[in-house]
Structure 1
Amino acid sequence: MKVANTENIQIAVKSPKRSTKVKENKLFNIVNIIFMSLFALVIIFPIWDIVVASFSSPDTLRSSRLRIWPEEFSLENYKLVFNDPSIWNAFMISILKTVIGVVTHVFFTAMVAYAMSKKDLLGRNVYTAMGIGTMFFSGGMIPTYLLMKSLGLLDSFWVYIIPALFSYYDMIIIMNFFREIPSSLEESAKMDGAGVWTIFMKIIIPLSMPVLATIALFNGVFQWNDYITTKLYISNEALYPIQMKLYEIIVQQQAQTMQTVGSVVIPTSSESIQLATIVIATVPIVLVYPFLQKYFISGMMIGAVKE
């Protein structure tokens, strides 16, 4: 009886603590939901304002107030942009350099990461020291420009691809992921007569899709948004990506009511062209993200943690 009474007293003591903890969790969840909702609105509303303004007539853009809905719905801004042949060419350049850049970067970085994940690799410590050095030091803008010139990459499409083939930071993430793959899989494949390339292509790559998709997303966003490479190394407008065209539109100080784009002259403003081009340049990468989102968290967590 004494034992039962003691247990009842312990339960009675613990119950208020548990109820208090439950209330604290509910309060935290409510505050967290309110805060994150407000934070999301702060991020989403300016983007929505840009989209709405791009579908508005140029006359309504003279006011600086935020817009919930287009006051005068108009597609003239988008007609102007798409009637310019250089926009289509820039769009194709952006797609090509993003697709080719992502595929080559992920494949080349994964190859190096697979080799570096082997502890018996000859000279592994030297390669590691060299790679870490590149994360902290660089040659600078002028030496890099002279290097690109000596390699014949100026005014070449491959200036978008070759310098971006490898990233030591991405290699570390992929390498740590490869180390989590059981070595017994490789040993059994070698016993069946599989070579290094067969193991890498048919075992390692299929098992590493989360981390590879994460690196592809990082590099894809970089390739799509990059215009500095074009500004430094490209003078041929036929090789301009969409972001460089957007940069040109923004820096042009043309606030006239008559704006010429390509061979078309339509009453508009430079701001309306900017907004339409921003939307066109942003939509493709935003549409790609949901397809890679499911790999994003798992790839970063598994590849970035070493036990």
Structure 2
Amino acid sequence: MTIESEGISPLLQRTRDKKMFNVFNIAFFILLVFICVHPFYYLIINSISDNTLSAAGRIAVLPKGINWSNYVEVFKQECLGTAAMVSLGRTVIGAALTVLASAFLGFLFTQASMWHRKFWYRFIIMTMYFNAGLIPLFIVMKNLGLTNNFWVYVLPTIVHLSTSSW
């Protein structure tokens, strides 16, 4: 730090290039926020607008003919509570078991005494790149008895996320 710059705020010491970078950086992130938030805003204004106007595509920036009947119909559904509990259970149980499985695999692959460690590591990495497809996955889930079962939401995700973290 030079003698002239002592006592001067760091904001005033910025060069013109740094100021321009900050302006473009802030503008870029404002644009990024708009791009990320706009679809949700558009969804909300269409859901509370008049259904005929929304279906005709006449809703652009502000909602027109505010109508709450869509939300009334959704909350009349008897299975809404069950769906919320399935989502909550899938999230909580899936996250806990995925962390446990990832920690277990991480511990195993750090042990030099693990039997054929390089082979198993490469085998798990290989499964990340090769996917059989949707129909073989369904056949496997059916043979394991996981169709029409809560665990179909949790178990495949645990295996996939645990191995993809490597």
* Counterpart in the other structure of 1:246: none
Which one-letter code corresponds to 2:30 in the other structure? S
Q: Which has the larger helix fraction?
A: 1
Which one-letter code corresponds to 2:164 in the other structure? Y
* Counterpart in the other structure of 1:169: 164
Q: Specify the SS of the correspondent of 2:20.
A: helix
* Counterpart in the other structure of 2:11: none
Cα distance in 2 for residues equivalent to 1:165 and 1:44 = 30
The Cα offsets for residues 236-264 of structure 1, whole Å up to 9 and x where unpaired, read as: xxxxxxxxxxxxxxxxxxxxxxxxxxxxx
* Counterpart in the other structure of 2:117: 124
TM superposition shift of 1:126: 1.3
Matched residues, percent identical? 29
- Give the aligned length: 151
TM-score normalised over the length of structure 1: 0.45
Give the 4+ runs in structure 1 shifted more than 6 A. none
* Counterpart in the other structure of 2:67: 74
Cα distance in 2 for residues equivalent to 1:32 and 1:88 = 43
Residues 38, 140 of structure 1: CA spacing in aligned structure 2 closer, same or farther, 3 A cutoff? closer
Q: Specify the SS of the correspondent of 2:132.
A: coil
- Greater relative contact order structure (CA < 8 Å, 6+ sep): 1
Instruction: Verify: 1:56 aligned to 2:49, yes or no.
Output: yes
Cα distance in 2 for residues equivalent to 1:53 and 1:148 = 38
The Cα offsets for residues 32-53 of structure 1, whole Å up to 9 and x where unpaired, read as: 2123222322332232121122
Residues 72, 158 of structure 1: CA spacing in aligned structure 2 closer, same or farther, 3 A cutoff? same
The Cα offsets for residues 194-224 of structure 1, whole Å up to 9 and x where unpaired, read as: xxxxxxxxxxxxxxxxxxxxxxxxxxxxxxx
TM superposition shift of 1:120: 3.1
Instruction: Verify: 1:135 aligned to 2:119, yes or no.
Output: no
Instruction: Verify: 1:40 aligned to 2:27, yes or no.
Output: no
Which one-letter code corresponds to 2:113 in the other structure? D
* Counterpart in the other structure of 2:6: none
Unaligned runs of 5+ in 1: 1-20, 173-307
* Counterpart in the other structure of 1:25: 18
Residues 156, 63 of structure 1: CA spacing in aligned structure 2 closer, same or farther, 3 A cutoff? closer
Which one-letter code corresponds to 1:46 in the other structure? P
* Counterpart in the other structure of 2:143: 150
Which one-letter code corresponds to 1:136 in the other structure? Y
Cα distance in 2 for residues equivalent to 1:134 and 1:112 = 14
* Counterpart in the other structure of 2:97: 104
TM superposition shift of 1:81: 0.5
TM superposition shift of 1:131: 0.8
Q: Specify the SS of the correspondent of 2:79.
A: helix
Kindly report the root-mean-square deviation, in angstroms, between the aligned alpha carbons of the 2 structures.
2.2
Contact map agreement 2:46 2:59 (CA 8 A) in 1 = no
TM superposition shift of 1:124: 0.9
Cα distance in 2 for residues equivalent to 1:60 and 1:168 = 47
